[in-house]
Amino acid sequence: MTQTAVALGLLVIMTSLLLIEGSPFLVHQRQKGRFQRDRRNIRPNIVLILTDDQDIELGSMQVMNKTRRIMEQGGVHFINAFVTTPMCCPSRSSILTGKYVHNHNTYTNNENCSSLSWQAHHEPKTFAAYLNSTGYRTAFFGKYLNEYNGSYVPPGWKEWVGLIKNSRFYNYSLCRNGVREKHGHDYAKDYLTDLITNDSISYFKMSKKIFPHRPVLLVLSHAAPHGPEDSAPQFAHLFPNASQHITPSYNYAPNPDKHWIMRYTGPMKPIHMEFTNMLQRKRLQTLMSVDESVEKMYDMLLDIGELENTYIIYTADHGYHIGQFGLVKGKSMPYEFDIRVPFYIRGPNIEAGSINPHIVLNIDLAPTILDIAGVDIPVDMDGKSILKLLETEVPVNRFHFHKRAKVWRDSFLVERGKLLHKRDGGTKEDKAQEENFLPKYQRVKDLCQRAEFQTPCEQTGQYWQCVEDATGKLRLHKCKGMANLEVSGKKGLTGVKSKYFSKNSNDCSCEDNEYKINHFGRKKKLYSKKKYKASYARNRSTRNVAIELNGELFNVELEDGYQPVYSKNITKRQTRAQDDLEEEEEEEEDKDTAEYSGTGSLSLTNELTAPTSIKVTHRCFILANDTVQCDTVLYKSLQAWKDHKLHIDHEIETLQSKIKNLREVRGHLKKKRPEECDCNKMSFYSKQKGKLKHKGMNLHPFKKFRLEKDLWFFRDQRRRKKLRKILKRIKNNDTCSMPGLTCFTHDNQHWTTAPFWTLGPFCACTSANNNTYWCLRTINETHNFLFCEFATGFLEYFDLNTDPYQLMNIVNTLDRDVLNQLHVQLMELRSCKGHKQCNPRTRNVELGSRDGGSYEQFRGQLWEGWEG
């Protein structure tokens, strides 16, 4: 009996073990864990090959036969690879950090590109810094960031050969491990593409010889096919009839249904079309050296036996357009030709010759590289590792039918979030062309669904009420009676103030003043720095003065005819200048001075008078008549002239560097500004928000949103700099410059290598200052669309299933509820942080939210800011 029981027990144990061994889930988990352990133990090498401005839509990969043989036939080709910002420095910053632009704040090729803020907050968190700390031999060769000045070696790189400033093939400077290295125009030793290839191969061999068991991270960042498109001499004769760039959207202009620059751009002239043909040819020629570079790297890895333990990634920082929609050349547009890029990867456990349709982004590169190296991915990275899309899964047994599908994003954000200037009102004709702006009645209808506007004018502090007129239209009416209940007078206002701004408050500590002028009527200075005009102060009669005494307010009535006394030393010249200024700004000043109470006094002195001369240097002055006069010796001695000019150039360079640093500090201070504490002002942003009256609370909701929106416009201080550039160009008879446009000139001297341009100079404009947008790009089983919201309020929607070249904007055909849904999804992505928020599965645009719910909760808050 005992033996039988023991036998049965052994049988049960053996059966349980067999069931456990045969469990598909456990076997898969064990295999996955073993794969990860092996990857950590093997520590594969990683080679990232990055090109600059290489398209996929215009056929650039068709001529790179060696790269396609190695990467496409030997690895996986991601046919839906995109960048989140189609500009050099923002995209490269996203590649390094794995973050969207709105999270690393590098908005343009100038704004925060390789700045002190970037160096302090984001550069220490690149994928190189993480791999370097885990034992990888990290090396970088080629173009880094557009504004990189070569004064330092970025953290995380053991070997550093970085190009200073923007792409060039000859006559450039490198920073080689902290030492500046200048190169000339000798192809054998100076051509940048070959130099990057040879130095990277030498470093890889040396690392494996000295440290055979340590993995290597190698980045080859080529300048090709970026301008000035100088090819190697052996390729200068290739592609005489290149025409891959002539797509259905080529010279498709003008486009009245698209945003402003597209409506402005007309068909290209014959010289422009000839230039696009030459440009395409020279770009393809430069890529031939990159094609050879990939082959040399592949052969080296094969020769030393490291190919099977190396991941090779090939991609570009963004796409390019050549003649599409009449734009002669450039990038920065949200369309397919600018945001699609080539993306190939080969390495261990990757199926050769496969095609992957999943969406991959430039922000996925950093987490993918960390995952390959076995390093934990930081939670603040917005991208995701694509390794889960690469690993080949073989069914454990014939009963393993129900394999769980991979969950991956089907939407992403395309953003170009440059700070904007204030948009002009424009003419009625211009506004009539923008047909897809939401009409006023629709915006009023949305606002009327808010609870704050649905109640009658009986609530304390309510300023607006939504009513229906005789025709059935909804209108917003101002509440004229109940709004004053919140503040019945200045006496009561002081009581509210003393209640919330007491001495015991930890936020504000104000001294007692027995007698002081109150500031309730002072001029608002939120958007303007203009001074009060003496002419207004002289002519305006002061009727009363608000006096604060012992914590209470009193209005002191003044006698008729009373005039405040001002300083008498106001010159006639100043008076005339101020009168002229008054005429120029009469309309704007009337609005500003409407709230000025007339209290206080002005003190203008003769210090405003221009001096007779200004000393600029120790030998040169600027006279009162705006002429420059220098010492006589500078006009007679050539050596003295050269020395003084050299001194001035040095001073300019020093001041420019100091100005750049000061701007960085100013930007930092703006972000870290503490909460304002003013005992004489009741701020809407104080902790008592909702209890105190704010000047802007009684504004119309449209205007209120517009004021908040204007804060972005007026933060861009570079408007004055650009205005000076425009004036300078006008002075120099530069006819290629137009306000608000980004233009370029091309002449016979631009290209210094064959084939040469011989058709003479021309001008073309490629972009606009208001080309700021946020787009939602979606590709899934049922949808393939691009939806964009421009900072000007313009909307675009393209269905790429029926219109793959984005020829027709069909936003007017969308239902209102669908637009609301798209807007909500876009707003979520614009503020996302981390991979959990930034990688959504798109809601069904016909049914509503992810769970099929309604979007009624969002009504009224979606479109209140768009101007029509």
Closest listed residue to residue 729, CA positions, set 714, 717, 745, 747: 745
| Position 632 pLDDT exceeds 90 | no
| Position 344 pLDDT exceeds 90 | yes
Binned at pLDDT 50, 70 and 90, residue 708 comes out as low
Q: In what order do the strands lie in the sheet with 179-182?
A: 179-182, 173-176, 159-163, 137-143, 216-221, 45-51, 310-316, 343-346, 76-82, 354-361
Binned at pLDDT 50, 70 and 90, residue 476 comes out as confident
| Position 748 pLDDT exceeds 60 | yes
Q: Side chain identity at 868, as an amino acid letter?
A: G
Binned at pLDDT 50, 70 and 90, residue 608 comes out as very low
Binned at pLDDT 50, 70 and 90, residue 852 comes out as very low
Question: What is the distance between the alpha carbons of residues 614 and 628, in angstroms, rounded to a whole number?
Answer: 9
Highest-confidence segment of 32-46, 80-94, 643-657: 80-94
Question: What is the distance between the alpha carbons of residues 287 and 302, in angstroms, rounded to a whole number?
Answer: 23
Q: Distance between alpha carbon 826 and the CA centroid of its chain, in Å?
A: 15
Question: What is the distance between the alpha carbons of residues 446 and 864, in angstroms, rounded to a whole number?
Answer: 8
Binned at pLDDT 50, 70 and 90, residue 418 comes out as low
Question: What is the distance between the alpha carbons of residues 349 and 76, in angstroms, rounded to a whole number?
Answer: 11
Torsion of CA 639, 644, 650, 652, to 10 degrees: -140
Backbone angles phi, psi at 90, to 5 degrees: -60, -45
Q: Using DSSP bridges, classify how beta strands 795-799 and 784-790 pair: parallel, antiparallel or unpaired.
A: antiparallel
**Cα 251 to Cα 270, 277, 341, 856, distances in angstroms:** 11, 12, 22, 43
Question: What is the distance between the alpha carbons of residues 796 and 356, in angstroms, rounded to a whole number?
Answer: 28
| Position 250 pLDDT exceeds 80 | yes
pLDDT digits (tens, 9 = 90+) for 518-555: 444 443 444 444 444 444 334 444 444 444 444 554 45
Mention every residue, 6+ apart, whose C-beta is less than 8 A from residue 406.
358, 388, 389
Q: In what order do the strands lie in the sheet with 795-799?
A: 411-416, 773-779, 784-790, 795-799
pLDDT digits (tens, 9 = 90+) for 830-847: 999 999 999 887 544 443
Asked if 183 and 196 count as a contact pair (C-beta separation under 8 A), the reply is no
Question: What is the distance between the alpha carbons of residues 630 and 640, in angstroms, rounded to a whole number?
Answer: 12
Is 765 catalytic? The answer is no
Binned at pLDDT 50, 70 and 90, residue 666 comes out as confident
Question: What is the distance between the alpha carbons of residues 837 and 849, in angstroms, rounded to a whole number?
Answer: 16
Q: What is the pLDDT of residue 446?
A: 66
Q: Give the Cβ contact number of residue 425 at 10 Å.
A: 9
Mention every residue, 6+ apart, whose C-beta is less than 8 A from residue 551.
494, 498
Question: What is the distance between the alpha carbons of residues 315 and 344, in angstroms, rounded to a whole number?
Answer: 7
Check residues 691 and 722 and name the one with the higher pLDDT: 722
Distinct helix (H) and strand (E) counts, the chain: 25, 24
pLDDT digits (tens, 9 = 90+) for 778-799: 999 999 999 999 988 899 999 9
Question: What is the distance between the alpha carbons of residues 379 and 386, in angstroms, rounded to a whole number?
Answer: 16
Q: What is the pLDDT of residue 542?
A: 43
3-class SS shares of the chain: helix, strand, coil, % to 5: 35, 15, 50
Catalytic residue, from 88, 765, 775, 788: name it. 88
**Cα 777 to Cα 68, 232, 255, distances in angstroms:** 27, 38, 21
pTM value is 0.64
Rg (CA), the chain: 33
Check residues 822 and 736 and name the one with the higher pLDDT: 822
Q: Side chain identity at 264, as an amino acid letter?
A: Y
Q: What is the pLDDT of residue 700?
A: 65
Q: Give the Cβ contact number of residue 82 at 10 Å.
A: 25
Ranges assigned E (strand) in 42-147:
45-51, 76-82, 137-143
Question: What is the distance between the alpha carbons of residues 342 and 222, in angstroms, rounded to a whole number?
Answer: 14
DSSP code of residue 79: E
pLDDT digits (tens, 9 = 90+) for 640-659: 888 888 888 888 888 888 88
Mean pLDDT lowest for which of 10-19, 451-460, 849-858?
849-858
Mean pLDDT lowest for which of 5-9, 119-123, 616-620, 786-790?
5-9
Mean pLDDT lowest for which of 168-172, 301-305, 604-608?
604-608
Binned at pLDDT 50, 70 and 90, residue 724 comes out as confident
Does residue 633 come out as left (phi exceeding 0), alpha (psi in the -120 to 50 range) or beta? Answer: alpha
Ranges assigned E (strand) in 347-399:
354-361
Closest listed residue to residue 389, CA positions, set 783, 78, 838, 68: 78
Question: What is the distance between the alpha carbons of residues 648 and 617, in angstroms, rounded to a whole number?
Answer: 8
Residue found under tokens 């980045």: 219
Q: Which helix (H) or strand (E) holds 318?
A: none
Check residues 460 and 247 and name the one with the higher pLDDT: 247
Q: What is the pLDDT of residue 110?
A: 83
Closest listed residue to residue 64, CA positions, set 185, 162, 193: 193
pLDDT, averaged across the chain: 76
DSSP string, 501-554: S-TT-SS------SSEE--TTPPP-SS--PPPPHHHHHHSPP-EEEEEETTEEE
Taking the chain, what is the end-to-end CA distance rounded to the nearest angstrom?
Answer: 92
